[in-house]
Chains A and B, each alone.
Chain A
């Protein structure tokens, strides 16, 4: 259950970047291969934001899906999980998307 620590990191980072400005909306990118469960972050968000400038803010989570390029044959293919091989049989792949774990933007009172 690292989502609590992850959500605390979000709140800490937003507070550091935005100072005292009340935050109305937070948009996160959590890739489907990031190892972080978006629903758990949603669950933690209200608890963790209580008493901070983020209290009452809405939470949007964008979830990019997995995409990889095969280092052997060059094909690009979708990854539902980290075990999917290229159609050529190779596991040697470069992940292009799906591992995102970042704060995309916030909306604050002007």
Chain B
């Protein structure tokens, strides 16, 4: 039991603070109208537990000089194809390993393994996103080397993963030109969370009705600070920009230790 406030369970989270006041002055009766109850002010973030676990992950990455990147997109945007090419062309240089999140199957993990990178698959079952606890479990199995790069392929979903901090140093949102230019306007929460936005499948631009300028304007409205790179994971067009970004972030992370 917490000695200051009398609440139970205060030992399980390190960041527990005595920020509550037992409801004095909250007009709840306090022994008059409802003598049997008392109001306790918590003022606690709903995701405090996940956030605390994410901070532990972040600290662990920092101590090991590891760059962890959370890759998020809708299903079919080309995350796994981008990872396969990145591993083939950059995997040895940056010591890339992968955490794969999917609701079911180990299909993507098999593709990544074939590309030559260590991989751990996390199946979330009914869950629509990875959380910090799942990532921590995956990292214990993956055991990535010092100063390496861990690419985390989140569950294909443009809504839920945005809310759950994993302890990553960077968030990358991938959209493809076949999905439509309005994605940033429809899912601003996801784009607001991005450090980098990759517009994938640009080799298909001649064949689809995709307004690049409208897409870029949508990204700017949701997140004026986000960097945007256009590429094709299939043909390799523009891929050098992505590799340059990864190299830069990896170099600055590994030299911090």
Is A97 in the interface zone, CB < 8 Å from B? no
**Contact of A104 with B43 in the complex, beta carbons under 8 Å:** yes
Check if B7 sits within 8 Å of A19, measured CB to CB: yes
Residue of B at shortest CB range from A5? B127
Is B42 in contact with A103, judged by CB distance below 8 angstroms? yes
Q: Please, which residues of chain A bring their CB within 8 A of the CB of B42? A: 13-14, 17, 102-106
One digit per residue, 1 when the CB lies within 8 angstroms of any chain A CB and 0 when it does not, for chain B 29-69 equals 00000011111111111111110000000000000000000
Assembled-state Cα–Cα distance A9/B13 (Å) = 13
Verify B36–A20 contact, CB threshold 8 A.
Answer: no
In residues 172-196 of chain B, which contact A (Cβ within 8 Å)?
185, 188-189, 192
Q: Which of A56-110 contact B (CB under 8 A)?
A: 81-83, 85, 90-92, 101-110
Residue contact B37 to A92, C-beta cutoff 8 Å: no
B224 touches A92 (CB 8 A): yes
Tell yes or no: A52 within 8 A of B by CB. no
> Do residues B44 and A102 form an inter-chain contact, with CB atoms below 8 A?
yes
Is the contact region of chain A dominated by helix, strand, or loop, or is it mixed? mixed
Question: Which of B144-152, B159-167, B205-213 lies on the face that meets chain A?
Answer: B159-167
Closest B residue by C-beta to A33: B189
- Residue contact B7 to A18, C-beta cutoff 8 Å: yes
From the candidates B23, B36, B192, name the one contacting A105 in the complex (CB within 8 A): B23
Picked from A5, A83, A102, the residue with its CB within 8 Å of the CB of B45 is: A102
Indicate if B246 sits at the interface (CB-CB under 8 A): no
Given A35-B162, A83-B188, also A17-B36 (CB < 8 A): no
Q: Does A16 contact B (CB under 8 A)?
A: yes
A35, B159: Cβ atoms closer than 8 Å: yes
Evaluate contact between A82 and B47: CB separation under 8 angstroms.
Answer: no
CB distance B10 to A110 under 8 Å? Answer: no
B168 to chain A, nearest CB (A): 18
Residues of A within 8 A of B41 (CB): 104-105
Q: Which residues of B contact A19 (CB under 8 A)?
A: 1, 7-9
Nearest CB in chain A: distance from B15 CB, A:
12
By the criterion CB–CB under 8 Å, are B9 and A15 in contact? yes
* B26 CB-CB contact with A under 8 Å: yes
Q: Does A6 contact B (CB under 8 A)?
A: yes
Evaluate contact between A91 and B129: CB separation under 8 angstroms: no
| Cα A1 to Cα B128 with chains together (Å) | 7
Q: Is the CB of A107 within 8 A of B189?
A: no
A28 within 8 A of B: yes
Contact A5-B129, Cβ < 8 Å, known A92-B224, A105-B23: yes
Q: What residue of chain B has the Cβ atom nearest to residue A22's Cβ?
A: B37
> B43 and A1: CB pair below 8 A?
no
A/B interface sample: 20 pairs, CB < 8 A = A5-B127, A13-B44, A13-B48, A18-B8, A19-B7, A24-B37, A25-B37, A35-B162, A82-B189, A82-B221, A83-B222, A91-B221, A92-B224, A92-B225, A101-B163, A102-B45, A105-B23, A105-B42, A109-B37, A110-B36
- Listed in ascending order, the chain A residues whose CB lies under 8 Å from chain B are 1-2, 5-6, 9-10, 12-21, 24-25, 28, 33, 35-36, 81-83, 85, 90-92, 101-110
Extra inter-chain contacts (15) besides given A92-B224, A102-B46, A105-B40, CB under 8 Å: A1-B160, A2-B128, A2-B164, A5-B127, A5-B128, A6-B47, A10-B46, A14-B42, A16-B8, A18-B7, A19-B1, A81-B188, A101-B163, A102-B43, A104-B41
